[in-house]
Structure 1
Amino acid sequence: MSTRPLLTLIAVVSADGFISTGTGVPWRLPRDQEHFRSITRGHWLLLGRRTYEEMLGWFKDHHPLVLTRSMGYVPACGERVSNVEEALRLAGAGGAQELIVCGGGDAYAAAMPHADRLILTHVNANLKSGVPFPKVDPILWQMTEREDFPPDAMHEFGMRFAKYARRSPPAAQL
């Protein structure tokens, strides 16, 4: 019998709510890269097809699930899924305790209603347009941890690591 894994969204979000201007992460933030790697190491990941292809070669000890509408898509590693519910079932059947959504925008939007927690890096920079991250409604989400970092020689922009917990179970579990 499988149990539903915890569903976590991890993202880097600009001060004005965007994750990208179209492709890739628009900042070079070594502290955040290490933070991302330490959290996702060894986990099952859910990624949209474009994000998966941008990260191809990066998956060493991960089990990637690629969210795509293309029924014929065969990922180089990992498995294809057509929706978040399928990804949760597959990860649960595989013994995963947690499934981490790593982007892009469509994957975050599809996963947000099912999410249990968020791990966000808030960057003190504005992108002005691009791919938005879903709104974090304070009625639904409570910040549980926060760590702030000012700009420094390695980081042009200040940032904040923040963790959020859903105040009540996701609608999909009710």
Structure 2
Amino acid sequence: MISLLFAASRNNVIGYQNGMPWHLPQDLKFFKEKTTGNTIIMGRKTLESMNGPLPKRRNVVLTRNKDFALDGVEIIHDLSDVERWNEAHPEKEYFIIGGGEIYEQALPIADRIYITRIDEEFPGDTFAPDFDEAAWELTEKEKGIKNEKNPYDYYFLQYDRKN
């Protein structure tokens, strides 16, 4: 299963200046719970924004740069590799975790979308992909906990592609 995983504001911002314009520890916890023990696929800039590969995950970087190499990271140059892995191991979940260009490329092959939808507007330079909600079914919706550390209203949404 190929899944997109991202947090997005009401105005569809997912990033600003190679970072996130908000701090939501509950979303980071959700991300960790979903991805630990799984394969995460990201662009080079996303990897750089995280200061290196994440522990307890297979870290894969999709890049056009044929010379890019980093310890602890598997390099691919085409999403067809992910499609092949998915065909060979359909029981596994492969998480596309950014950035914006990678989400756009992966949307046509995705089976699932996890969105932490933050009910706030933020300035940004990277945006979530637009998707036709008619082609997807909202299968889960959970309101996140709002408190002093998580100061926004937000929802954990799961969309599954309709067959």
Asked if these proteins are the same fold (TM beyond 0.5), I'd say yes
Displacement of 1:87 in angstroms is 2.7
Give the partner amino acid of 1:99: Y
Quote the Cα distance in structure 1 between the aligned partners of 2:75 and 2:134: 33
- TM-score, scaled to structure 2: 0.91
Superimposed CA distance per residue, residues 37-63 of structure 1 (whole angstroms, 9 cap, x where no aligned partner): 000011011000011122244521111
Tell me how large the CA RMSD over aligned residues is.
Answer: 1.9
Please show how residues 1-174 of structure 1 align to structure 2 within 5 Å. 6-57=1-52, 59-90=54-85, 97-149=92-144, 151-168=146-163
Structure 2 equivalent of residue 171 of structure 1: none
| Greater mean deviation of Cα atoms: 83-92 or 147-156 | 83-92
Question: What is the CA–CA distance in structure 2 between the aligned matches of 1:100 and 1:149, rounded to whole Å?
Answer: 21
Question: Do the aligned partners of residues 57 and 82 (structure 1) sit closer, same or farther apart at CA in structure 2, a change above 3 Å counting?
Answer: closer
Letter in 1 for 2:134: I
Letter in 1 for 2:61: V
TM-score (norm: length of structure 1): 0.86
Identity %: 28
> 1:44, 1:91 within 8 Å by CA — same for their partners in 2?
no
Alpha-carbon distance between aligned partners in 2 of 1:161 and 1:20, rounded to the nearest angstrom: 18
For residue 107 of structure 1, what is the amino acid of its counterpart? I
Segments of structure 2 that go 5 or more residues without pairing to the other structure are: none
